[in-house]
Structures are given as structure tokens and as C-alpha cells.
Amino acid sequence: MRILAVWDDEAEAELISMYLGVDENEVTMTTTPAEFRAAIESGRPVDIVLMTIELPDPEAGFELFELLRERYPGAPVVGACPPSDVFRVVRFMANGMSAYVTRDPGGDYMFMLRAIMESTLVAVRSAREKELSQKLREEVESVRKLQQSVLPQNLMAPSGYRICARYEPAQIRVVGGQPVTMAGGDYYDVFTLADDRVVLLVGDATGHGMRSCLSIMTMHTLVRMMRRQEYTDTAHFVEEINRGLCEQSIVTRKGGFITLLYGILNPETRTLQWSAAGHQPPLLQNLSTGTIEPLAGQDAGGLPLAVDEDAEYESYTTELPDNCRLLLYTDGLDEAFPEGNDENHFGMEGIVRTLSESARLPLEETLERLFDASADHTRGDGRQDDTSVVLLEHRE
């Protein structure tokens, strides 16, 4: 500890300096108000302060205490006073003094000073860490709300179709087993174009926190701006989005990128045209035959967005069967794993199993089952990546 002290008895001051100076503590001892003031105004680093309030009286002591609090607002202060003057400490405590000791006539208090100051410093630092932790939680929550504000609230499906979607942020465990819900960069969107075709998309920005959130919001803004233009080809649309994102430093800084799956459903022809940018293809569940398989191989997607402004992408067209479900998802769903076993993913096997077991359930309940099964696979640890899912159903 770096200790600044002021004492009005030179003999006691020498003993106190010796007691406090053990364990490599650095003690600056002063014995007059002038010396104490000079030490305060020197600006030398201080971890904690010990001061008698009699300098030479409580009124003068309070003036120096106020100067101390102004120059060292982060340093806890331990005061000392005779038993008869304990009531005078109230004024100091009300204005930020952290603790106090009474100076018994026998001087026994001196043997306790080091322990008192150490415990005071620990307590103050612990309180500040708790306060900082709470502020960080509030910041994370505000970022999460910002990120969630771009998600559609009411999903409209054309006749014969049902659509549901869900986003769930990552959750990790901290000391004491308390969960912390992280801000992230997952994203989904569903909207209808002027010709009644329906856009379905999911995206995933690298990392967590404000940067990934702003990356996703940047992409969301570009998508919503460009939706007014007539892009008949999904690959062309994705290429334009990619070029726009490559110009945004908030996305590209430190190697950042976004994966995207972008599809357009034509409800009349029952066809889905889609393109992928570093993203896994959709899963198609044929409810009549029970088969569940991706619409293409994993190599069907091009580079993630914001990596190369000249990147080219492919368009794929799939005709949907009479009774089917289509799953668009981010990797938080399949890559869920128990803590300490990061190779034991929920995986495609878990997704397929859950979809198969839920084939007769309502669409919303199936979506719930997917999230629950993925979370259960972590054995209570929580998914360490954001998860977005869009689930579409067509029945004759």
C-alpha cells in the first residue's frame, strides 16, 4: 500500500510509521497541517490515507479533508479521534470518509491500524468493482436493447405459410455461477417486398459487444435502404451489400466481417431463391417423407461480407415441397457445447433430431424446442454465442 498519513503526536507518528511500513508498504508520514497540505498538493500516488481529525482541531481538519477528497477522490480515508470526539467524525463520514478508529489512552489502537487500513482498502475496492460491474451490466443491457431494436416484431406470412423467428444472446457464467447475458452481433429479418415476395435473412457479425452490434445495424440499414430497389437476383443483392459494408470501418476494423444468408420466397411458385456469404445453407424438412437436409453443400456460400469488395456470390433456387419446413439459423444453435468440452457440439445431429421429434408440433413450439435442446446440451453453462433462427412452414 502507498499510505499518506498525518499525525499530531511525533512519538506516536514514528511508531505508526513502523507498524504500517511492514510488508513493503510505502508510508509518507507528516506531523503538521502544513506538511500534510504540501503532501496532498504534491500529487504523489496514494492508495489510502490515515489522518487524525485534530489538525489542530476538527474544523481545520475538515478543511484539509475536503482538500484531500478533491485531490485524491479515489483514495479511501481512515480517520482517528479521541473517544470523547467520536461524534465529530459523523461530519467526515457523511462526506466520504471510509472508516475511523478511536485513539484509546493506552495506544492499543496502533496495533490494529494496519489491519484496519488493509481491510478498508479491500472493502472500498470491492465496492468499486461491484459498482463497475453493475455499470458494465447496464452498458451491456443497453447495447442488447439497441441490437434487438432492429429485429422485426410482427412477422407477416403469406397465405398457406407460417413464419416464426427468435434471437437469443450469448450467456456465460462468471464467478459465483451468476449468468451474464452478452451483447452480440446476431441478426434476423423478415419482410415483404412490393410484389408480395418475402425476404428471409439471418446474419452473424464477428465478436460481441458494441462493435458487432453496430456492424449488424450498419448491415440492417443497408438492407432496408436497398430493399426499395428491384433486385431479381439474390447474389446481386448480396454483392451490393458487401460493397457497401467494405466501406464501413466499424465493420472492417481489425478483420471484422459478417456472414449472411439471404433468401427470397415466392409464395405463388413456392420457390426460394437464396445466396450465402460465408454462411451455412438453410435446412429443408420434408414433412411428408421425414427427410431433413441442407439445400446445398457447405461450399455453396462465398466469402463473408466486408472481406473483399469484389467478391462474387452465387444464387440458388429451390422448389419447396407441398408440406415442409425451412430453417435458417446462425452457428450459435449448432455450436452450443458444455463448458470445458468445446468439441462436443449440439451439431447438425442435434438440430435434425429436434426437428424430427417436433414435426407434429406447432411451428412456434418447434422453435422453442430447438432453443431448449441446444441450451440443454450445454448442461447449464449457456450458449457462448448468439443464436438467431428463422423457421418457415408450408402446408397444403
Q: Which residue has the higher pLDDT, 379 or 315?
A: 315
Handedness of CA 310, 316, 317, 323 (dihedral sign): negative
Residue whose C-alpha cell reads 464501413 in the numeric block: 248
| C-alpha–C-alpha distance, residues 184 and 205, integer Å | 8
| Cβ–Cβ < 8 Å for 341, 381 | no
CATH number of 2-128: 3.40.50.2300
- Range scoring the smallest mean pLDDT among 25-29, 74-78, 207-211, 233-237: 207-211
| C-alpha–C-alpha distance, residues 19 and 117, integer Å | 12
CATH 3.40.50.720 fits 150-394, yes or no: no
Domain ranges of the chain: 2-128, 150-394
Residue 309 contacts by C-beta under 8 Å, 6 or more apart in sequence? 242, 243, 246, 247
Average pLDDT of the chain is 88
| Cβ–Cβ < 8 Å for 276, 260 | yes
Distances (CA, A) of 389 to 8, 219, 357, 367: 70, 18, 18, 8
pLDDT in tens, 100-125: 999 888 888 888 888 898 999 999 88
2-128 against 150-394: fold identical: no
Identify the band that residue 126 occupies on the pLDDT scale cut at 50, 70 and 90. confident
Across 165-188, average pLDDT: 69
Residue 299 contacts by C-beta under 8 Å, 6 or more apart in sequence? none
| C-alpha–C-alpha distance, residues 352 and 194, integer Å | 34
Alpha helices (H) along the chain: 10-20, 33-42, 58-71, 86-94, 113-148, 210-226, 234-246, 249-252, 331-334, 347-357, 363-377
- Range scoring the smallest mean pLDDT among 149-153, 198-202, 273-277, 357-361: 149-153
With both helix axes pointing from N to C terminus, report the angle between 58-71 and 33-42 in degrees, rounded to the nearest 10.
10
- Global confidence as pTM: 0.68
Across 319-325, average pLDDT: 96
- Note the pLDDT of residue 171: 64
DSSP string, 157-222: --TTEEEEEEEE--EEE-GGG-EEEPPEEEEEEEEE-TTS-EEEEEEEEEEESHHHHHHHHHHHHH
